[in-house]
Amino acid sequence: MRFLYIGSHDLLSRHELGFLASLSVLGSVNAIQLGRETRIEKLRIGSDNGVWNVPLYRIPCGGVLHIHKCANTIKRLVDPEEYGFIFVTPRIPTLAANLLLNKRRPIVLRLWSVRATKVVSNMLLGCYRDLLIFIPSVLANLTYISSSAYTITLDSVTYMFASKIYPLYANRIIKVYPPYGYVIKNSIATHESRILEMVDRGDYILGFTVLSKKEYILRLKQNLKQKLSTCWLRSRVLM
């Protein structure tokens, strides 16, 4: 079976790379990344189920206002009718796929988070800005989920939230924990060769994540530290 994956900037995240590797076990996979550049290349992806080569088409897409141009560019590169399933990520990829196919092929949404789920937690930590995006976030994800045949969530929080907020589509929402993957560069160093040996044996992959603390994330951490310090001082006074 042939699969088409349409994503955006997060296509190269470790869970999406692992998903592409998993699809490669089941059949042939072509990937499209909507962004700012035009390029065709072959991704060599390593994961716990082996090493796979996935053709990647990078297509410039200027946003919702240029969605028709974006869809026409995809159509010139690949024929969506030749694929059994189309996997998409939220926002522009979902809209472009629906414009291309018009329900002629099943579209499967990859939903890794819903921003509205973080509103309550952020408010408890003193960040009230996300309250403004709660309703827009719920409505936007309703559009993505309702236009897809199935929705794959990547964690329990997103799965439970989506199932409760969108009960009409609960039977089309599933939870699948993704394997992790990484891009293998052309020049393989000694430690990368060692990783490939572990992949071939099917043991494990050690993954690293770098988190940058910017904007409200940094403020959340500062507010949390302040609240913890206040609680500690109060406990000392009571003692």
Q: What pLDDT is stored for residue 199 in this prediction?
A: 59
Q: Which of 37, 40, 43 lies closest to 21, judged by CA?
A: 43
Contact in structure between 88 and 97 (CB atoms under 8 Å): yes
| Judgement on whether residues 233 and 146 belong to the same structural domain of the protein | no
> Which has more confidence, 234 or 29?
29
The answer to whether residues 1 and 19 touch, using CB atoms and an 8 Å cutoff, is: no
Dist CA 166 CA 153 (whole Å): 13
| Beta bridge pairs of residue 93 | none
Q: Which parts of 54-114 fold into alpha helices (H)?
A: 67-77, 92-101
- pLDDT tens for each residue of 29-68: 999 999 888 889 999 998 888 889 999 999 998 778 888 8
Interior/surface letters 3-34, b for 16+ CB within 10 angstroms, e for the rest: bbbbbbeebbbbbbbbbbbbbbeeeebbbbbb
- For residues 147 and 223, membership in a common domain is answered with no
Region 166-177 average pLDDT: 93
Residue 234 has pLDDT above 70, yes or no: no
pTM here is 0.77
Based on the fold, state whether residues 96 and 32 are members of the same structural domain.
yes
pLDDT the model gives residue 232? 61
One domain, residues 127 and 200: yes
For residue 184, the enclosing domain spans: 2-206
Write the pLDDT tens digit of every residue in 56-113: 999 998 778 888 888 888 888 888 888 999 999 999 999 999 988 877 788 999 998 8
Least trusted range by pLDDT, from 93-97, 143-147, 210-214: 210-214
Q: Within this chain, do residues 149 and 214 fall inside the same structural domain, yes or no?
A: no
Poorest-confidence range of 112-116, 121-125, 139-143? Answer: 121-125
Q: Which of 69-78, 97-106, 171-180, 187-196 has the lowest mean pLDDT?
A: 187-196
Do 166 and 213 fall into the same domain?
Answer: no
pLDDT (0 to 100) of residue 182 = 87
Q: Let me know whether 48 and 100 are in one domain.
A: yes
Q: Are residues 115 and 215 in the same domain?
A: no
Query: Tell me, what's the pLDDT at 140?
Result: 92
Strand, helix or coil at 131?
Answer: helix
**94 and 48 both lie in a single domain:** yes
CA distances from 213 to 11, 67, 204, 210, 216 (A): 22, 32, 29, 10, 8
Residues 213, 202 share a domain: no
> What does each C-alpha distance from 207 to 2, 30, 46, 47 come to in angstroms?
29, 25, 12, 11
Q: In this structure, are 202 and 135 located in the same domain? A: yes
Tell me: do 74 and 166 sit in the same domain: yes
**Encoding tokens for residue 38?**
């035009």
CATH code for the domain of 17: 3.40.50.2000
- Per the structure, the count of domains in the chain is 2
